[in-house]
């Protein structure tokens, strides 16, 4: 498996992988990736694909968000082709994107997801850090992974890149 930055040639494959991973919610996440790519919050260095035998089987992206106006990252969507799930693709994408974000000097990454899965990557409930989700009901799933540049002064409401508000 290779993990690398997306290129223009990957855009269609990423769309298909995202649609397949989120088949239960057709349109939403695949549409979101396209909207994010056109948004000011897009960070090319943090849109990564997983490739197996020349085929894109997974994708992850972090985009620019803010904590009380200060720069931070929102992670998602994270997608793995159903046929390739539970083979370590999600794990490889997650470790790589967190390492890349840390190398870029970002302070933290937030995501919405199941703590049973994401705690293994160092995510903890955002409430432990005084960071609140855009929607209060998300609190049980809203998690933060701090990075080297994190300081405890970074507290307050998190805002995702604008396209998330249109999801």
Given the rule CB under 6 A, which residues bind ligand COA? 21-22, 76-80, 85-91, 113-114, 116-117
- Is the bond preceding 77 in cis, omega lying within 30 degrees of 0? yes
Cα-based torsion angle of the residue sequence 32, 113, 88, 99 in order, rounded to the nearest 10 degrees = 80
Report in angstroms the alpha-carbon separations of 45 from 14, 96, 98, 105, 141: 15, 11, 12, 13, 26
The residue (of 121 and 156) whose beta carbon lies closer to ligand COA is 121
Residue pair 74/95 in contact (Cβ under 8 Å)? The answer is: no
Closest by alpha carbon to 63, among 122, 106, 121? 106
Least distance CB 78 / ligand COA (angstroms): 5
d(CA 106, CA 27): 30
Work out how close the CB of 75 gets to ligand COA at its nearest, in angstroms, rounded to a whole number: 8
The least CB distance from residue 85 to ligand COA, in Å, is 3
Nearer Cβ to ligand COA (60/154): 60
3-state secondary structure 54-73: CEEEEEEEEEEEEECCEEEE
| Residue least distant from ligand COA (Cβ) | 90
CB nearer ligand COA, residue 5 or residue 95 = 95
CB of 30 to ligand COA, least distance (A): 11
For ligand COA, give the closer residue by CB, 2 or 149.
2
**120/149 with CB nearer ligand COA:** 120
The least distance separating ligand COA from the CB of residue 18, rounded to whole angstroms, comes to 8
């Amino acid at each position: 498996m290779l993990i690398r930055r997306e290129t223009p040639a990957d855009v269609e494959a990423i769309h298909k992988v995202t649609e397949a991973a989120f088949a239960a919610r057709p349109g939403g996440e695949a549409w979101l990736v396209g909207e994010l790519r056109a948004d000011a919050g897009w960070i090319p260095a943090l849109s990564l694909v997983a490739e197996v035998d020349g085929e894109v089987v997974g994708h992850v992206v972090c985009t620019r968000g803010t904590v009380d106006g200060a720069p931070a990252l929102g992670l998602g969507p994270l997608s793995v082709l159903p046929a390739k799930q539970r083979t370590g693709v999600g794990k490889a994408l997650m470790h790589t994107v967190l390492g890349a974000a840390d190398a870029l000097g970002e302070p933290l990454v937030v995501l919405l997801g199941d703590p049973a899965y994401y705690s293994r990557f160092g995510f903890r409930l955002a409430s432990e850090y005084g960071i609140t989700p855009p929607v209060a009901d998300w609190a049980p799933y809203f998690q933060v992974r701090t990075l080297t540049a994190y300081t405890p002064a970074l507290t307050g409401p998190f805002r995702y890149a604008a396209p998330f508000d249109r999801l």
